[in-house]
Amino acid sequence: MTITYATLLSEITTPDGRDIFDPATGELVGKAPFRSVEVLDAAVARAKAAQPSWAARTDEERQSLLVRAADAIDAATEPLAELLSREQGKPLNGPNARFEVGACANWLRATAATDLPGRTLIDDGETHAEIHYRPLGVVGAIGPWNWPMMISIWQIAPSLRMGNTVVVKPSEYTPLSVLALAHVLGTVLPDDVVNVVAGEGDLGARLSSHPDIAKLMFTGSTRTGQAIIKSSAETVKRLTLELGGNDAGIVLADVDPKAIAQDLFWGAFINTGQTCAALKRLYVHADVYEDVCRELVEVAKTTPMGRGLDEDNVLGPLQNKAQFDIVAGLVAEAKSSGATILTGGTPEADAPGYFYPTTLVSDIDNSNPLVTQEQFGPALPIVRFETVDEAVDMANGIDVGLGASVWSADLDTARTVAARIQAGTVWINSHGGVHPMIPFGGVKKSGYGLEFGIEGLAAVSAPQVING
């Protein structure tokens, strides 16, 4: 059956639902069915009832169904991408809506192809011990509004592969995208294996304390993650938490500024800066500082921003007014402190949508709030440094550590600097790229637990040692 945008929307909306508006235009996208805690409890009960038969399938059967689910997403790429663009704001092209939908399919296939076999730990003639990985039961997943479909798949795919069922609570800002994704998955997967319940924050609080949720996966703010840790304590729930970022990039003196400018730009401004592991504070050696600033301005000025359904645009609006206000406030504070606005910094008055212009800020102190706080939007502070020790100290000087990057013509030097940075991932001459076989997770207040690859499968499993 061919899925169109209109039929997809009719399947997931309800006349008495919550109005969801396009952040680029203010137009109504659809009415999302916001549900109560009682409805969530019923979904958990259905997932719990469905889990034994799902776990009883062979691993090969689950792999095959994940691949078929990926095929179903591919077949519905255009309506899914259009809905995502309208609801989240991101453009169709560039590393945005079509990219995100494609990543969902690719992640399902990669998860299906990844093996986590049991193995013999010791067999010395006296002792024989093996480790195996069993399903946990029902996995709860709470997703964000910046990459709503892709991050949901990051939570769903490994959970299903290991024999768990899933209950997803999407962000109240982007529920339609995740409901649509679940609808497409449901054309292939058995009933109640994936359940999506949209609603307010009380649903997330219930998931984190629910006695029948064995594991909770959350991507979002550090503050919410801390609340989840507290509310999950009584049930001793396993947690994977990918929390706030504020990633640093360090540009050494030996770079070619023009050669790295595009990659630097997209490391910072992918999804219009609304990415946990985006480059959010850039430290540049004094010898190349002016040249790097100049080249970044040139890229910014030639990168079109506008409504996502316009095929020419690759940058979009902020997803919601609260985030717009955060970015605008931080840039205004930087201006008042005497920092230089190289480009951007002044949104168009009375324009529709939450568009904040691509903004580059130089001559800014490392203690400025635009540097120390995660702006999560299209504004990049660029800080000058004189020595590598100074740059590393500034990069490590805050309480989060999701990702970071080092930029240098000398890979050995870059790797040496990278090893000194307190972050879960440090990229060399790029920033923010993820791979389904490379573990991803943060340190410090950026959370704990790993996603992706073998480690990600283990994280949604109960290890069992058989000794004897």
**Which CATH number belongs to the domain containing residue 303 in this structure?**
3.40.309.10
364: Cβ–Cβ under 8 A, 6 or more apart, which residues? 334, 337, 339, 340, 370, 371, 381, 382, 383
Q: Which two structure tokens, joined as six digits, stand for 118?
A: 């049991």
Q: Which of 194, 178, 175 is CA-nearest to residue 35?
A: 175
Residues 394 and 453 in one domain: no
Question: Is 293 a catalytic site residue?
Answer: no
Give the CATH number, domain containing residue 79. Answer: 3.40.605.10
* Domain assignment of residue 13, yes or no: yes
Cα 283 to chain centroid distance, Å, stands at: 24
Per-residue pLDDT tens listing for the chain (468 residues): 689 999 999 999 999 999 999 999 999 999 999 999 999 999 999 999 999 999 999 999 999 999 999 999 999 999 999 999 999 999 999 999 999 999 999 999 999 999 988 999 999 999 999 999 999 999 999 999 999 999 999 999 999 999 999 999 999 999 999 999 999 999 999 999 999 999 999 999 999 999 999 999 999 999 999 999 999 999 999 999 999 999 999 999 999 999 999 999 999 999 999 999 999 999 999 999 999 999 999 999 999 999 999 999 999 999 999 999 999 999 999 999 999 999 999 999 888 999 999 999 999 999 999 999 999 999 999 999 999 999 999 999 999 999 999 999 999 999 999 999 999 999 999 999 999 999 999 999 999 999 999 999 999 999 999 999
Kindly state whether residue 280 falls inside one of the protein's structural domains. Answer: yes
Are 282 and 385 found together in one domain? yes
Whether 104 and 202 map to the same domain: the answer is yes
Judge if 356 and 422 occupy the same domain.
yes
CA distances from 200 to 36, 84, 167 (A): 8, 20, 15
pLDDT of the residue at 2: 85
In angstroms, rounded to a whole number, what is the distance separating the alpha carbons of residues 403 and 447? 12
Please indicate, yes or no, whether residues 68 and 48 belong to a single structural domain of this protein.
yes
Domain span at residue 413 reads 247-428
323 HSE (CA, 13 A, CB side): 25
Nearest CA-CA partner of 208 in 235, 246, 171, 173: 235
Q: Is residue 101 part of a domain?
A: yes
Structure tokens at 373: 């706080």
DSSP 3-state assignment of 427? Answer: strand
Q: Is residue 377 part of a domain?
A: yes
Please tell me whether residues 234 and 104 are part of one structural domain.
yes
Contacts of 428 (CB under 8 A, 6+ apart): 405, 406, 407, 408, 411, 414, 415, 418
- Asked if residue 439 belongs to a domain, the reply is no
Q: Is 348 a catalytic residue?
A: no
DSSP 234: T
The model's pLDDT over 384-437, given as tens digits with 9 standing for 90+, comes to 999 999 999 999 999 999 999 999 999 999 999 999 999 999 999 999 999 999
- Classify residue 333: in a domain, yes or no: yes
Q: Do 299 and 373 share a domain, yes or no?
A: yes
Structural domains counted in the chain: 2
Residue 123 φ then ψ, to 5°:
-155, 80
Nearest to 308 by CA among 26, 29, 88: 88
Shared domain check, 143 and 267: no
H or E element, residue 425: strand 425-428
Q: Which letter, b or e, does each residue of 164-202 get, where b requires 16 or more Cβ atoms within 10 Å of its Cβ?
A: bbbbbbbbbbbbbbbbbbbbbbbebbeebbbbbbbbeee
**Are both 43 and 85 inside the same structural domain?**
yes
Position 184 in a domain: yes
CA angle at 439 for the pair 434 and 445, rounded to the nearest 5°:
90
82, 104, 276, 374: which is the annotated catalytic residue? 276
- Regarding whether 58 and 149 lie in a shared domain, the answer is yes
Cβ–Cβ under 8 Å, residues 333 and 109: no
Residue 436 is assigned to a structural domain of this protein = no
**186 and 222 together in one domain:** yes
- Among residues 129, 135, 103, which one has the least CA distance to residue 116? 135
CB-based contact 197:12 (threshold 8 Å): no
Catalytically annotated residue among 242, 295, 374, 451: 242
pTM: 0.96
Report the SS3 class of residue 440. Answer: strand
Q: Are residues 410 and 450 in the same domain?
A: no
Between the alpha carbon of residue 204 and those of residues 38, 193, 198, 455, the distances in Å are 13, 19, 10, 25
**Contact (CB, 8 A) for 177 and 5:** no
Rg, Å, the chain Cα set:
23
Distance (Å) of CA 383 to CA 245, 250, 289: 18, 10, 9
